[in-house]
Amino acid sequence: MVTVMLMSVVLIAGLCVLAYTLAVYALPFMLGLTAAQFAYQTGSGLIGAGLVGLVAAGAAFGILALLFDSLRSPILRLIVALVFAAPAAIAGYALVHGVTKESVPSEIWRQIFCIVGGGFVGISALVRLAAPLPGGAAPVR
Question: What pLDDT score does 51 carry?
Answer: 96
- pTM for the model: 0.70
Question: What pLDDT score does 41 carry?
Answer: 95
Question: What pLDDT score does 39 carry?
Answer: 96
| Domain boundaries along the sequence of the chain | 24-134
* CA-wise closest residue to 81 among 119, 125, 114: 125
Element (H, E) at 86: helix 74-100
Identify the DSSP state of 103. Answer: T
Rounded to whole angstroms, the Cα distance separating 33 from 36 reads 5
Rounded to whole angstroms, the Cα distance separating 75 from 94 reads 28
- The per-residue pLDDT string of the chain (141 residues; one tens digit each, 9 = 90 and over) reads 888 888 888 888 888 788 777 777 888 888 999 999 999 999 999 999 999 999 999 999 888 888 878 888 888 888 888 888 888 899 889 988 988 888 888 999 999 999 998 998 888 888 877 766 565 554 544
Question: What pLDDT score does 134 carry?
Answer: 61
Rounded to whole angstroms, the Cα distance separating 3 from 66 reads 46
Question: What pLDDT score does 136 carry?
Answer: 52
Looking at residue 97, its amino acid is: H
Question: What pLDDT score does 135 carry?
Answer: 58
